[in-house]
Amino acid sequence: MLLDEFLDPKILIVSGKGGVGKTTVSAALALVAARHGRKVCIAEVDQKGTLPRLFGGGALGYDPAEIAPGVWGMNIVPEQALAEYLDVQYHMKRVSKVFTNTHFVDYITTAAPGLKDILVLGKIWFLEQGRGGGAQDFDTIVVDAPAAGHMLTFLSAPMGLSDALRVGPVRRQSDWLVEMLRDAKRSRVHLVTLPEEMPVSETLETSEALTHKIGLNPGAVFANAVYQQLLTQDEQETLDAVMGDANPRELKIAAAEVGLRLDKEDLNALVRYAHFLEARRSIQAKHLRALRKGLEDPVVELPFLFSAGLALPDIETLADVMEEKVAEL
Each residue's pLDDT tens digit, 183-237 = 999 999 999 999 999 999 999 999 999 999 899 999 999 999 999 887 777 777 7
Burial of 292-305, coded b for 16+ CB within 10 Å and e otherwise, reads eeebebbbbbbebb
Q: Is residue 273 part of a domain?
A: no
Instruction: Please report which confidence band the pLDDT of residue 112 belongs to, taking 50, 70 and 90 as the band edges.
Output: low
* Cα 13 versus chain centre, distance: 8
Q: Is residue 105 part of a domain?
A: yes
Q: Is residue 38 part of a domain?
A: yes
Residue 142 has what DSSP assignment? E
Q: What is the pLDDT of residue 243?
A: 60
CATH of residue 201: 3.40.50.300
Residues 264-306: tens digit of each pLDDT: 777 778 778 878 888 899 999 999 999 999 998 999 999 999 8
Q: Is the pLDDT of residue 262 over 80?
A: no
Q: Is residue 240 part of a domain?
A: no
Q: Is residue 69 part of a domain?
A: yes
Q: Is residue 29 part of a domain?
A: yes
Length of the chain: 329
Q: Which range marks the domain in which residue 23 is found?
A: 3-228+295-328
Within the chain, residue ranges assigned H as helices are 3-6, 22-35, 50-54, 78-90, 93-99, 102-111, 115-129, 148-164, 169-182, 197-209, 233-243, 249-257, 264-294, 312-328
Q: Is residue 44 part of a domain?
A: yes
Burial of 39-56, coded b for 16+ CB within 10 Å and e otherwise, reads bbbbbbbbeeebbbbbbe
Q: What is the pLDDT of residue 97?
A: 56
Q: Is the pLDDT of residue 93 over 60?
A: no
Q: How far apart are CA 272 and CA 158, in angstroms?
A: 53
For range 87-115, the mean pLDDT: 57
155 exposed, middle or buried (CB, 10 Å; 0-12, 13-18, 19+)?
buried
Report the DSSP beta bridge partners of residue 67: none
Q: How many domains does the chain have?
A: 1
For range 227-255, the mean pLDDT: 71
Instruction: Please report which confidence band the pLDDT of residue 47 belongs to, taking 50, 70 and 90 as the band edges.
Output: confident
Q: Is residue 277 part of a domain?
A: no
